[in-house]
Amino acid sequence: MTDEIGQSDITTPGDVIAELNRLMRVSQAGINALYVAEVKVAELDLAHEREYSLALLNAEGTAPEKTAMAKLEAGQARLALDIGKAELNRVKAKLRAVESAQVAVSVIAKQVELQWRNA
């Protein structure tokens, strides 16, 4: 009846109701996924900052040398943080797609209503 985002063969009021209910469930799951992704990014940010700071404190040499060494040592933590941010952005994009699908289904609902009235 539906594709991944939510539109396709919606032709009856029951189809509209089922699709809106499905989209509400997907949206709720997305809100939970958004929270999980935000917590993960916060934890990864903290881990990166800690690793970078410790590496900076333990490094020897001039200030620019210490900074460069700390960046190298905290590189994996930075990569994990960047990947976490990408995951968070993907969740946000999916939520926007679900919101767009809800609007589209509302438009389809109006069209179905008009078809059923004129049938």
SS (H, E, C) 43-109: HHHHHHHHHHHHHHHHCCCCHHHHHHHHHHHCHHHHHHHHHHHHHHHHHHHHHHHHHHHHHHHHHHH
* pLDDT > 90? residue 93: yes
User: What percent of the chain lies above the pLDDT cut of 90?
Assistant: 75
Which residue carries 């210490």 as its tokens? 66
* pLDDT > 80? residue 91: yes
* pLDDT > 90? residue 68: yes
- Phi and psi at residue 12, in whole multiples of 5°? -125, 160
For residue 111, how many C-alpha atoms fall within 13 Å in the half-sphere facing its CB?
10
